[in-house]
Structure formats: structure tokens, C-alpha cells
Amino acid sequence: MDLFIQTSYLVAAGLFILSLKWMSAPATARRGVLAGELGMLLAIIGTLLRHEVVSYQWIMIAFLVGSAIGVPLAYLMPMTAVPQRTALSHAFGALASALIGTAEFYRETPHGFVTVALVVETLLGFLTFTGSLMAFGKLQEILPGRPLTFRGENAFNLTILAIGVASLGWLVVDPTNVAVAGVMLAVSLAVGVLLVLPIGGADMPVVVSLLNSYAGLAAVATGFAIDNNILIIVGALDGLSGFILSVAMSKAMNRSFSNVLFGAFGSAAVAGAGGSSSAGGEMVPISAEDAALRMAYAERVVIVPGYGLAVAQAQHQARELADLIEKRGGDVRFAIHPVAGRMPGHMNVLLAEAGVPYDKLVGMEDINEKFAETDVALVVGANDVVNPAANTNPKSPIYGMPILKVAEAKSVIALKRGRGAGFSGVENDLFVDPKTSMLFGDAKRSLITLGLEVKNA
């Protein structure tokens, strides 16, 4: 039996690695998800067959309760809420790790290395639990999105941290001390809250990804503590991929990691200071008829989707419009910015769901070379990722962020509801550029009207 269990773990580990690899490209992403699911099934079956599992009764109850919550959550949740849903599942995962750590502590007083693993697991688990709940609250707008700070915060945090480190050391030497274990538990819970509250809501996706990494490390520690190889492997994969993702997201926003964690990007103060448009000028509206005419007779069109497309759930209408233009002989591509939307791969997922062929989804570097020869760039609910201030205005908070060079296209049509700023709170010079025309309204409605008009053109 042990051989079967270890083999199932080994195959599961291989599937997890393949899953991560396949998920890095839209064409293989579905296969990646399936491989991950299969790997998880094997890991669970292997674990349930271990001789330490003596009764299945409580496991079945937990399985049913978990499924009753998880399945509707997955089906009913809109794509735009994926970051907060991820935060919530990290919170649960981390709580599970922390509770296992606590239970192991009381079941059998640990010694030596196991004590260290258990203490680290519990600390990271509880910290990730409250941190992820705070991130969820900010993303769901239950908590204020602005950075929440207070006077004497640094001194307070340092004191808390010192108490945490001291109790951690104490517990390693004297694992039976229940009072110190309680102090460490309280400190871990408090650190999670203190770590996330001072960070602006705008940076929560990076924070969620970082917390993902902590949850992975907690799983590694659990694996060592309860002698489970698959937890060690999966935790390491999760921990490192979460960390790499956080760094990649910070890079795509041209922010240093420390700036995300300790700078208040997205706060009212920052948005106010660098928020005004450097270009000046007025937005020029266009009617749907005129916009459609321009696209119907264009040879090359690039559609630039952003967060607004996701909010409006307009991916199908975007594909239909592209099909109509292509039927008339035009060439249509979709420009994909790595952080368009609210999570990495957001636009790829939506457009793939709408059936846009993968070869039409062009990454930032490749499409940027094509804008100069593009007749019409159609910006659908994108803002920050097309803001030329990132290249031209050193005072702008997004200065240095890599952007889609939409401003180089021969003409630009931008679809948005009104004059609202983007995620960073910064005004966009592109919208007041003389070659840009604004089609105001909800992205889905505008795309439907444009489709009808292109058909009639």
C-alpha cells in the first residue's frame, strides 16, 4: 500500500509541475487546469489510504460541507471577483494549515526540528489567514481601500514582531508552554492584519499573490511536521510560484516589491499629487455610426481590452465585432497587456472563453511594433495600460510602467462609460489626444451597437 501511496504522490507531483507549465500559455491552459485537478485527486486518494487515517466519517462530513460552499462559489462568482475569491480560499487553506499545526502540537508534544516546523507552520498559517481576510475585505470593498495607518505604527509593529520572535524561540525550547503558544497565536493573527491594512486596495492583487506564497510555505512546514511528501512538494511549488507571480506583477506595474508593501500607491494622496493629466485638452466624443464606419473600412484594427471589458462582460461582443470586421476583409488583433484587468491572464481567460483564436491574442512586445501601421485602435475599457504618461510624464505615479503604445496608431476610439480614471487614479493623456475619439457608454452596449452599424455599413 505504501508503494501505491508514494507512487500516487510522485505522479501527482509530476502533474502539478506540468500543470504550472501548461497554464503559462493560453493554448495549453485548459490542459494545465485538468492536469492540476487530476494531480490533486491522486494526492487526496493517496492521503486517504494512509494508515494514519482510521475513520472516514468526519472526512466525509468535511468533504460535503466544503463542496456545498465551494461549488456554488465557483459557479456564481463573476470573473471580476476572482482576486477576492482567491484571497478567501487562501484564508481557508492557511487556516487549515494553522489548525493542523495547533492540533499536532497538542496531540503529541513535538521535539527538535518538528517543533520548528510546527511553529513556523502555525505562525505563517494564522498570519496568512487574517492577512487574506483583510485583502478580501479590501477587494470586496467591505473595508476601506485606502491604506489604513496610525500614529506610532512602526514602533507598535516592531514591538509586536519582537514579541512574536521571542515567543517563537521560547516555544522551540519549551514546546509544552501553553501560555506562550497562545501569545504566538495572537501575535500571528495580529501580524496578518497589521501587514495588510496599511496597503492600498489597489495593490491587493499583488498582496494576495504574496499571501499565496506564505500559504505555500506553511504547507511545506506542515509536510515536514506530519511527514507528508506531497505537501512539501506542492507547498514549495505554490510558495515559489506565488512569489514569482508577485514579482512579475510588481514589475509589470513598474513598482518595486518594497514599494508595493510599504508605499501607498492608489491612495488619495498619491492619486491627487500626480493625478492630473499632463497633456490638457478635451475629450472628443464620437457617435457609434461614425466609429463603426471608421472600423468597417479599416485594413488593420487592434482591439485593446481592459478592466472595463471584464466589468461589462463584453468579451463575446468584442469577438463578434472582430468577426464582422474580418468578414469585410479587415485584419483584427487583440492586444494583451500583462496586467490588463485585475489579475494576471485576465484578458486571455475572458477572450479565450469567448472563442477568440489564440493566434489573435498578441502580447505587449509584439503588438507594440504594429501600432504605427494600425488604422484604428479600439480601446475597450482599458485605461492605465494605454496611458502614455507612463512613458512621457516623470511626475506620474505610473511613470515607467510598460504600456501598450496605442497612441502610435493612426486613430484611436476609446469605449468607456464616462470620464472616470483607471485603477491607479491617474488621468489619461490618450483620451485627450486629438487622434482619439470617445464613445461613451457601457462597453457591452457600445460593442453591440458598433456590431450592428458595421453590419449595415
Q: Which of 194/249 has CB closer to ligand NAP? A: 249
> For residues 189 and 205, what is the distance between their CA atoms, to the nearest angstrom?
21
Stretch that binds ligand NAP, among 44-52, 142-150, 301-309, 370-378 (CB under 6 A): 301-309
Shortest Å distance, C-beta 446 to ligand NAP: 7
Which grid coordinates are listed for 82? 476572482
The distance in angstroms from the start CA to the end CA of the chain is: 70
- CA distances to 14, 226, 233, 236 from 10, rounded to whole Å, are 6, 18, 10, 14
Please answer whether residues 450 and 291 qualify as being in contact, where contact means their C-beta atoms are separated by less than 8 angstroms: yes
Shortest Å distance, C-beta 292 to ligand NAP: 17
> For residues 295 and 410, what is the distance between their CA atoms, to the nearest angstrom?
12
> For residues 268 and 250, what is the distance between their CA atoms, to the nearest angstrom?
20
Of all residues in this chain, which one has the CB nearest to ligand NAP in the complex? 422
> For residues 384 and 402, what is the distance between their CA atoms, to the nearest angstrom?
10
Stretch that binds ligand NAP, among 5-13, 32-40, 151-159, 302-310 (CB under 6 A): 302-310
Binding flag, residue 341, ligand NAP (CB under 6 A): yes
Q: Which of 95, 219, 230, 311 binds ligand NAP (CB under 6 A)?
A: 311
Binding mask 379-398 for ligand NAP (x = CB under 6 A): --xxxxx-------------
Binding mask 9-48 for ligand NAP (x = CB under 6 A): ----------------------------------------
- Is 384 among the residues known to form the active site? yes
> For residues 345 and 268, what is the distance between their CA atoms, to the nearest angstrom?
28
Please answer whether residues 235 and 247 qualify as being in contact, where contact means their C-beta atoms are separated by less than 8 angstroms: no
Identify the active-site residue in 203, 384, 429, 433.
Answer: 384
Q: What number of chain residues touch ligand NAP (CB under 6 A)?
A: 32
Q: Which of 39, 125, 137, 205 binds ligand NAP (CB under 6 A)?
A: 205
> For residues 40 and 35, what is the distance between their CA atoms, to the nearest angstrom?
9
Binding flag, residue 406, ligand NAP (CB under 6 A): no
Binding flag, residue 344, ligand NAP (CB under 6 A): yes
- CA distances to 114, 220, 242, 243 from 217, rounded to whole Å, are 15, 5, 10, 10
Q: Which of 381/451 has CB closer to ligand NAP? A: 381
Shortest Å distance, C-beta 448 to ligand NAP: 12
Please answer whether residues 372 and 353 qualify as being in contact, where contact means their C-beta atoms are separated by less than 8 angstroms: no
Binding flag, residue 417, ligand NAP (CB under 6 A): yes
Stretch that binds ligand NAP, among 70-78, 183-191, 359-367, 414-422 (CB under 6 A): 414-422
Binding flag, residue 343, ligand NAP (CB under 6 A): yes
> For residues 116 and 185, what is the distance between their CA atoms, to the nearest angstrom?
15
Stretch that binds ligand NAP, among 212-220, 223-231, 236-244, 338-346 (CB under 6 A): 338-346
Which grid coordinates are listed for 196? 495588510
Shortest Å distance, C-beta 310 to ligand NAP: 8
Shortest Å distance, C-beta 194 to ligand NAP: 22
C-beta atoms surrounding 151 within 10 Å: 7
Longest dimension (CA), the chain: 80
> For residues 428 and 420, what is the distance between their CA atoms, to the nearest angstrom?
10
Binding flag, residue 200, ligand NAP (CB under 6 A): no
Which residues are known catalytic residues? Answer: 384
